[in-house]
Amino acid sequence: MTFDPAQLGQSKADLAETLRTMRKRASRTQVWLARRCNMSQTKLSNIETGRITPGLVDVELILRALDAPPELVAEVASLARLANTEWQGKRASWRRGLEKRQTELAGLEAEATTLRYFLPAMVTGLLATPEYVRASLGHSPVDISKTVAKKLERQSVLYDDAKRFTFLLTEQAVRWAVVPSAAMAVQIDRLVSLSHLPNVHIGVIPLGATVERGPMNTFTVYDQRLATVENFTGRLVLQDARDIAEHLEVFGLYERHALFGEEARALLGEWAAAYRS
C-alpha cells in the first residue's frame, strides 16, 4: 500500500460510508446488526456516521454478520487498518506550537500504565537533561522555550509508582553527541541515576550484540492499545491491534538482547568516563 498522509483522514469517512452502505444493501437494520455483533445500537450508529473509528475486531464482526464475500472482506479490512492509523506531521506541529504536542504526550503517559520506548538514535525527552532537551530542539524553526519547559515538566511522570517504564537504548543512542562532551557525561549520569528508580527499567544494547532485526525506527508502545513510530518528518500513530502486537514482539526481541541493572550501569559509567576524558 502506498503511503499518502491525506488518505489517513479520508479513510475514516470512507470506512463509515462503506459499512453503512453494506448494511443497507443487505436490507438489515441497525438494531438487527448491533444485536448480531453484540454491540449497542448507539455504537453502531457512531461507527456508521464516522463519530468513532471501529477497531478491526468490530469491522470483522460486522462483515461476518453481513455475510460479506472474501474479496470485500479483504478490501474493507485494509481500509479499517488505514483508518486506525494517524499521521502527525512536524510542519503541522510547528504551526500549532510544539508545546501542544507535549501536552498530548503527557495525556498519553497519564492514561497508560505500562510504557515501552525503543530508542535507537537519541535519548528521549523523559530521560534528558535540560541542556540535552534544548539542543535536541535546536533545529526547530519556532520558539522552543515553552516546549523545553513542558518536556521537563513531563519527567515527573517517571516518579509515579503506579506506572512501569522500560527504555531500550542502543549504544549509539546513548553516545550520540547532541551536546558537548562534558554535558554528554552529565546526560549519561542521569540515565544511571534514573535506572535506580524501582519502576524505571533502562536497558542498553551495546554495539557488537548480535540482533537479527535492525533498529529501523524510534517507537513507543502505550499499554497494548497504541503505538507511535517516529521519522524525520513526523510520526505515525497506530491503533490497529496487529501493528501494536508486532511492535511489542520487536520490543521483546530487543529487550532480550539488552543489558539491565548493574551491567547496564557499568557500561554507562564507562561511556560517561570516556566523555570526561
CA distances from 43 to 51, 108, 123, 240 (A): 9, 24, 41, 18
| Amino acid in position 75 | E
pLDDT class of 46 with cuts at 50, 70, 90: very high
> What's residue 75's pLDDT?
85
270: nearest Cα among 176, 180, 129, 175:
175
Residue 7 has pLDDT above 60, yes or no: no
Share of the chain above pLDDT 70, in %: 96
> What's residue 220's pLDDT?
96
Tell me the pLDDT tens digit for each residue of 141-179: 878 888 899 999 999 999 999 999 999 999 999 999 999
Find residue 213's DSSP bridge partners: none
pLDDT average, residue stretch 168-196 = 98
Query: How far is C-alpha 26 from the geometric centre of its chain's CA atoms?
Result: 38
| Amino acid in position 57 | V
Cell numbers standing for residue 247: 511492535
> What's residue 187's pLDDT?
98
> What's residue 95's pLDDT?
75
Residue 77 has pLDDT above 90, yes or no: no
Share of the chain above pLDDT 90, in %: 62
DSSP letter assigned to residue 156:
G
Specify the residue for cell string 507535549: 102
Residue 4 has pLDDT above 60, yes or no: no
| Average pLDDT for the chain | 89
> What's residue 53's pLDDT?
83
Tell me the pLDDT tens digit for each residue of 79-128: 877 777 777 777 777 777 777 778 888 888 998 999 999 999 999 999 99
3-class SS of residue 72: helix
Residue 2 has pLDDT above 50, yes or no: no
> What's residue 1's pLDDT?
41
- φ/ψ (deg, to 5) at 161: -65, -15
84: nearest Cα among 262, 258, 236, 270:
236
> What's residue 104's pLDDT?
80
> What's residue 9's pLDDT?
52
Residue 8 has pLDDT above 50, yes or no: no
Asked if 87 and 5 count as a contact pair (C-beta separation under 8 A), the reply is yes
* Cα gap 98→145, rounded to integer Å: 10
> What's residue 239's pLDDT?
82
